[in-house]
Amino acid sequence: MKYQNLQKNDSKIFEAIINEEKRQFFGVELIASENYVSESVLEAMGSILTNKYSEGYVNARYYAGNKFIDEIETIAIERAKKIFGVKFVNVQPYSGSPANLAVHFALLNSGDKTLGMNLSAGGHLTHGYKVSFSGKYYKSENYGVDKNGFIDMDEVREIAKAHSPKLIWAGFSAYSRILDWKSFREIADEVGAFLVADISHIAGLIAGGVYPSPVNFVDCITTTTHKTLRGPRGAMILTNNEEISKKIDKAVFPGLQGGPHNHTTAGIAVALGEVLEPNWKNYAEQIVKNSRTFAESLKKKNYEIVSGGTDNHLFLVDMIKSRGISGGEAEKILENFGITLNKNSIPNETRKPTDPSGVRIGTPAITTRGLKEKDVQKIAEFFDLAIQNPKNQNLKNEIADFMKDFEIPGIKI
């Protein structure tokens, strides 16, 4: 029996885990930064590797007994190199934000200027937002999107020339279109800045060949290992520049972190092995097909989609314009029916971040469960029915009954 020791020794935690399994199994997961890992990844994450302390790097540890940890970390590194076509990889960052902090720490001095995407336009906290370390300890300027929801590279160039940043971030957490890596490189060269791509959201799509890779245009890359990569909650930093790689390694350890989380490193290695399998491309393609289908289905129901559609795994819906309710209200209504997504700021946001105008919808998790276009159309119908009639008592059961036919790795109900 799964969790038998936990059930015996800590019934409260056991009960919470079982309830969370039920929530995931019967619900619709539309949070763009979430996914379901395989049972193999779960096994690695729950292994005795968590017992070992491994400060340092392969063949250069500060503790003895790391022979097999070195093997695991090397496998993770080599698989990442093969997938993304890079020469140097650090797999030790604890998560995406620490990885981005390490890049700042490696390439900049406190007070240096940076340029990143505005949070309300789809950027990330760690790309220079004022409440983040990246906005507090560095002089950050932001670029946004035009009235149609697309990045205007001419505007980015103007801001870069006026601001003269030492580092430019190209990446997002809520932008549904293709980034122009080549134009970002040209702008960075014009102002003498480092160019860093944060591909946390699109790494799995890049690995599957359905989103262009920044490798040949940037100085280094950061990415989380969950989201579209479908691994555990960790991160990596990649580069083809040996000098930058040495600075990154020193920034991660001993600059910012202690020993790596070895069970996570193993989980990353396993997940990257799955990315190297032939069917990964099909998975990545299906994520995008599902995302486009979802956006088009909602458009047909007169929902306002930011930029009019999507080229990747996510899109934003302006709920104020669509149905006269805020993103926060929509999030709560939908969660009551087992549909989980997140409220999100939209371009030219007029509301506060805690209750913005929009919601963000992503398709990696439902694609992992095996949903195809016709199923996504049904989810869009559920979405609309819930928003139209929040007191519909039968809809939650109908949604749960629909979702029970789609498996989740590691969950048996």
Predicted confidence at residue 193, as pLDDT, reads: 98
Catalytic position from the list 52, 53, 180, 299: 53
Catalytic residue chosen out of the listed positions 79, 177, 233, 247: 233
Confidence bin at 404 (pLDDT 50/70/90): very high
Which is nearest to 379 in space by CA: 406, 403, 357, 397? Answer: 403
d(CA 48, CA 223): 26
Catalytic residue among 21, 43, 52, 55: 55
Q: Report which secondary-structure segment, H or E, holds 90.
A: strand 88-90
At 15 the pLDDT is: 97
Catalytic residue at 112?
A: no
| Predicted pLDDT at 1 | 61
Gap between the Cα atoms of 299 and 96, Å rounded: 32
Question: Residue 393 — very low, low, confident or very high, per pLDDT cuts 50/70/90?
Answer: confident
CA distances from 143 to 121, 122, 156, 160, 311 (A): 8, 10, 6, 9, 20
**In the predicted model, what is the mean pLDDT of residues 124-135?**
92
Catalytic residue (choose from 222, 223, 224, 293): 224
Q: Is the pLDDT of residue 353 over 90?
A: no
Least confident range from 123-137, 142-156, 175-189, 214-228: namely 123-137
The residue from 177, 227, 230, 323 that is catalytic is: 227
Residue 169, Cα to own-chain centre: how many angstroms?
A: 16
Structure tokens at 198: 């944060």
| CA distance to 42, 99, 103, 366, per residue, from 139 (Å) | 41, 19, 15, 39
CB within 8 Å of 67: residues ≥ 6 apart: none
CB 44 within 8 A of CB 270: yes
Q: Confirm whether 126 is a catalytic residue.
A: no
Active site (annotated) includes residue 233:
yes
Which residue reads 């409220």 in tokens? 343
Q: How many DSSP H helices and E strands does the chain contain?
A: 17, 15
Cβ 381 vs Cβ 399: under 8 Å: no
| Interval 279-288 mean pLDDT | 98
- pLDDT tens column, 232-243: 999 999 999 999
3-state DSSP assignment of residue 287 = helix
Q: Is 227 a catalytic residue?
A: yes
Share of the chain above pLDDT 90, in %: 96
Query: Could you give the CA distance from residue 241 to residue 386 in angstroms, rounded to a whole number?
Result: 50
Q: What is the mean predicted confidence (pLDDT) over 291-300?
A: 98
> pLDDT tens for residues 55-66?
999 999 999 999
pLDDT in tens, 21-68: 999 999 999 999 999 999 999 999 999 999 999 999 999 999 999 999
The helix/strand/coil state of 306 is helix
Going by C-alpha positions, the residue among 412, 312, 306 that lies closest to residue 367 is 312
Confidence of residue 171 (pLDDT cuts 50, 70, 90): very high
Q: Which residues contact 11 (CB under 8 A, 6 or more apart)?
A: none
Q: Residues 203-225: what's their mean pLDDT?
A: 98
**Average pLDDT of the chain, as a whole number:** 97
For residue 141, what are the β-bridge partners? 115
Residue 265 annotated as catalytic:
no
Q: How confident is the model at residue 2 (pLDDT cuts 50, 70, 90)?
A: confident
Q: What is the side-by-side order of every strand in the sheet holding 314-318?
A: 304-305, 314-318, 358-362, 342-344
Please, what are the domains in the chain? Answer: 8-30+280-403 (3.90.1150.10), 43-275 (3.40.640.10)
**53 carries an active-site annotation:** yes
